Amino acid sequence: AQKITQTQPGMFVQEKEAVTLDCTYDTSDPSYGLFWYKQPSSGEMIFLIYQGSYDQQNATEGRYSLNFQKARKSANLVISASQLGDSAMYFCAMRESRRAQKLVFGQGTRLTINP
């Protein structure tokens, strides 16, 4: 069965520093997609970045990049130059295949940016 593990329940970072949020996954399907979402206190899940299992390059989206290490089944999110508005819960999620449209989520990491 597919599984997402986020081992950092909480992280505290100084403003303007870079931060890496860890995510490891487990699946037996060769075709899968990995997502990162941000959830502020308002509750809405905001899509940040996507990495497909066959993508050769690491995904990047503005200040967000995904450090994809397929052999290690790792998909860490890197946020460069953190801002106070980055304080939120961050979830790593996986869609196992195109047939299965469900996302499996990790437990999340609460990121707090200190001024």
Partner 1 sequence: KAGVTQTPRYLIKTRGQQVTLSCSPISGHRSVSWYQQTPGQGLQFLFEYFSETQRNKGNFPGRFSGRQFSNSRSEMNVSTLELGDSALYLCASSFRDSPGDYGYTFGSGTRLTVV
Span from 10-18, 19-27, 73-81, 89-97 in contact with partner 1 (CB under 8 A): 89-97
Burial class (CB in 10 A: 0-12, 13-18, 19+), 14: exposed
CB of 53 to partner 1, least distance (A): 10
47 binds partner 1 (CB under 8 A): yes
Distance CA 115, CA 111 (A): 13
11 binds partner 1 (CB under 8 A): no
Q: Which of 14, 17, 52, 80 binds partner 1 (CB under 8 A)?
A: 52
